[in-house]
Structure 1
Amino acid sequence: MTERDRVFAGSIPKFYDTLMVPLIFEAYAADLAEVVAAFAPGSVLETAAGSGVVTRVLEPKLCAGARYVATDLNQPMLDYAATRQGADSRIEWRQADALDLPFEAASFDVVCCQFGAMFFPNRIVGYAEARRVLRPGGRFVFNVWDRIEENAFADEVANAVATVFPHDPPRFLARTPHGYHDIALIREELSRAGFADIEIATREKVSCATSARAAAAAYCLGTPLRNEIEARDAGLLQLATDRATEAIANRHGEGPVVGKIQAHVIVAAG
């Protein structure tokens, strides 16, 4: 992973929330919220909250007196998430590094993280921090994407954009969001961080977009893939988006498009 992989700034937060969230994140946010709410936690820490898609779904499912702290490393994403949530005194928005959490030990019943672990520079440290702030009997609930070949639109976009830069193809999608899919490695790193009880379920869902262009724009404009494209040649961003649009349309047709997405959902206890 490169430093550019973690930069969600400029127009990316808005494009991410308006394009990527409905495309691939909403279904898994609902899924993750159900898992967390089933534990009836009195306190929840969310790391890598992004634009707040899990926060918006999970908050209404918690008991009236529950404490909810939503954090993200990227302040622009956190600021955007807070505006989307609206006034809610139960939610504390706080910029924080998941690898160095500013909370006392044994502070939360659940730590949850949607599609953030792939961005941790050191996942074992991040996992150990989650375990540190969990109360005895608490759970760490998170998800990660499966390999890129199991996620239709991401795979098609990556391959299409590579044709624009054949000598230096952008690898963000395969490298980072879809680069941490080995279940054995996930178990090993959680164990090294001190978790003893680890459950992993692989869940397939469906990704829908109003058009091939909407799906292509989501990836090319609403993720750090945009940073990679612009670093090579900002003038080719439109061409890259066009190529991605063509690839998705060729595979899924004109009009609304539907593609497979797949992720691993993990529940770990110490």
Structure 2
Amino acid sequence: MAERADATRDAHFLGPVPDLYQRLLVPMIFQGAADSLARSVAGLAPATILETAAGTGALTRAMVRHCPGSVITATDLHQPMLDAAAAIGADGGSVTWQQSDALDLPFGDRTFDVVACQFGVMFFPDRVRAFREAARVLKPGGSFVFNTWDRIERNEVVHVIQSALVAAAPHDPLVFMSRTPHGYFSPAQILGDLEAAGMPGATIHAVDATGRTTASEAAAAFCGGTPLRAAIEAHDSLSLDEARAIAEAALVAHFGAGPIDGPIRSFEVVARPPT
């Protein structure tokens, strides 16, 4: 129950978060991963795709580019994120934006060829339930394709930021990033959850990349454009401006004052219900 409460609290994509997320985080860490995941989806040649936790649509637009002709239903729990996605558009693809909960999908059984999810499963308060829902709406022979971040130490920029914030306020450490976005990285746990949801024998592989940014942009992105913002704003000794300044100074000290090419690592997973 504590894990579920943490996940529910951590899924806070409201207020100014969607704009900063799209402007700063998508080009830094999400766009390359979206293209990689979309290529995996394209290899399955789906006619119909359901996307869960679509956010501002980075994966949606990548799938439009890589899967021409596919009909995509892009969903997210948070309407403000979908509003941002819809405002950007879908590059002319056949996309329907729909608010829905990945744990309780409003679609019939055996509806989609692929269910895809980019960096959303970490936020699901009951992952096995969400995975069962994905399996339920897949057509026979369909695939559930998703990615998740590796441990925070394998993602250097965010690791530097969190380490600096924890050192600045060790009495109430700001560990949202390691707890949730970078908290679901064990292949054994992932494969076990999928098996519990009725999808044994999934495949998983690591994807290494780099994210280009600057110290000021990365500090603004992670402190202001993720649910870390809510934790900072509720903190008893750090303001948002102070947290951004601490993060930026730590990045400059670690990488130098110029452009940053920070190593990032994620996992891509493909799972299928038995036919």
Q: Which TM class, normalised by the smaller chain length?
A: over 0.9
Instruction: Choose the corresponding residue for 1:32, options 33, 37, 54.
Output: 37
Q: CA deviation at 1:170?
A: 1.2
Question: Where does residue 73 of structure 2 map in the other structure?
Answer: 69
Counterparts of residues 72-91 of structure 1 (less than 5 Å)? 72-85=76-89, 88=92, 90-91=94-95
Question: Where does residue 18 of structure 2 map in the other structure?
Answer: 13
Question: Where does residue 226 of structure 1 map in the other structure?
Answer: 229
Q: CA deviation at 1:106?
A: 0.3
Q: CA deviation at 1:33?
A: 0.5
Task: Report Cα offsets for 1:77-106 as digits up to 9, x if no partner.
Answer: 011101111584711100000000000000
Instruction: Choose the corresponding residue for 2:260, options 257, 260, 265.
Output: 257
8 Å Cα contact 1:4-1:228 kept in structure 2: no
8 Å Cα contact 2:164-2:250 kept in structure 1: yes
8 Å Cα contact 1:52-1:81 kept in structure 2: yes
Structure 2: distance between partners of 1:157 and 1:243: 8
Question: Where does residue 269 of structure 1 map in the other structure?
Answer: 272
Q: CA deviation at 1:196?
A: 2.4
Task: Report Cα offsets for 1:154-204 as digits up to 9, x if no partner.
Answer: 111111112332210111101000000010000000001001231000111
Task: Report Cα offsets for 1:6-39 as digits up to 9, x if no partner.
Answer: 1101100000000111111111000000000111
Structure 2: distance between partners of 1:85 and 1:124: 31
Question: Where does residue 173 of structure 1 map in the other structure?
Answer: 177
SS of equivalent to 1:263: strand
Q: CA deviation at 1:258?
A: 1.1
Question: Where does residue 96 of structure 2 map in the other structure?
Answer: 92
* Structure 1 position 47 matched with structure 2 position 24: no
Instruction: Choose the corresponding residue for 1:56, options 45, 55, 61.
Output: 61
Question: Where does residue 149 of structure 1 map in the other structure?
Answer: 153
Instruction: Choose the corresponding residue for 2:239, options 236, 240, 255.
Output: 236
Structure 2: distance between partners of 1:63 and 1:89: 8
Question: Where does residue 3 of structure 2 map in the other structure?
Answer: none
The list of structure 1 runs, each at least 4 consecutive aligned residues, that deviate by more than 4 angstroms after superposition, is 86-89
Let me know the Cα RMSD of the aligned residues: 1.4
* Structure 1 position 246 matched with structure 2 position 264: no
Instruction: Choose the corresponding residue for 2:123, options 119, 123, 131.
Output: 119
Percent of residue pairs identical = 46
Q: Relative to structure 2, which stretch is displaced further, 45-54 or 227-236?
A: 227-236
SS of equivalent to 1:23: helix
TM-score in terms of structure 2 length: 0.94
Q: Relative to structure 2, which stretch is displaced further, 91-100 or 196-205?
A: 196-205
Structure 2: distance between partners of 1:141 and 1:255: 36
In structure 2, stretches of 5+ residues that fail to align are 1-5
